[in-house]
Amino acid sequence: MPIPAKPLRILAVSGSLRAASLNTLLLQTLATLAPASIDVQLYRHLGDLPLFNPDLEKPLPEPVADFKNHILSADAVIIASPEYAHGVTGVIKNALDWLVGTEAFVNKPVALLNVSGRAVHAYAALREIVTMMFANIIDAASLTIPLYGNGLTEADVLANPQTVQDLQAVLVALQQAQNLE
């Protein structure tokens, strides 16, 4: 009897701490849509990371070590982050700053999701940051998937066939990238 393949482990990271974040909602919906062959885990502790300070890197503060370990143990990472003042949010920049001097993102397949077609500056900045960290950005999995409105729920997102199709394409592209390694 063949041994079943282990699921692809994807860590989903939202660059927003807002309870009603559209980026977080998109990632939660992605996790819901994932087939049994893909395990999407939403990382919910970016707000616990202290402000980046190189003097505190050795040893890494426990919340930072936890984040790094989650990145290292994932087969792929998806980041969805809003734009503030033409840049990435402070919370995602802080999280990534902690990992710049580590191997956490080296050759790691990464997808970048954008929920607003107007958020081009943050998307470009995020792409530059993870590229500099030697991540393997999977272009076919890096999409703008527009979500607009207040009070949206996962059911609202799932009711949009194009959004569902786009999210499924993200998962397929990451799975294909993993199979090529």
How does pLDDT run across 106-144, given as a tens digit for each residue? Answer: 999 999 999 987 888 999 999 999 999 999 999 999 999
- Total domain count for the chain? 1
Is 114 a member of any domain? yes
What SS3 string covers the chain?
CCCCCCCEEEEEEECCCCCCCHHHHHHHHHHHHCCCCEEEEEECCHHHCCCCCHHHCCCCCHHHHHHHHHHHHCCEEEEECCEECCEECHHHHHHHHHHCCCCCCCCCEEEEEECCCCCHHHHHHHHHHHHHCCCEECHHHCCECCCCCCCCCHHHHHCCHHHHHHHHHHHHHHHHHHHHC
Is 39 a member of any domain? yes
Is 2 a member of any domain? no
Is 1 a member of any domain? no
pLDDT band at 72 (very low <50, low <70, confident <90, very high): very high
Is 48 a member of any domain? yes
Average pLDDT of the residues in 75-96: 94
pTM of the predicted model, to two decimals?
0.94
Is 116 a member of any domain? yes
Is 3 a member of any domain? no
Give the domain CATH number at 20: 3.40.50.360
Containing domain of residue 176, as a range? 8-180
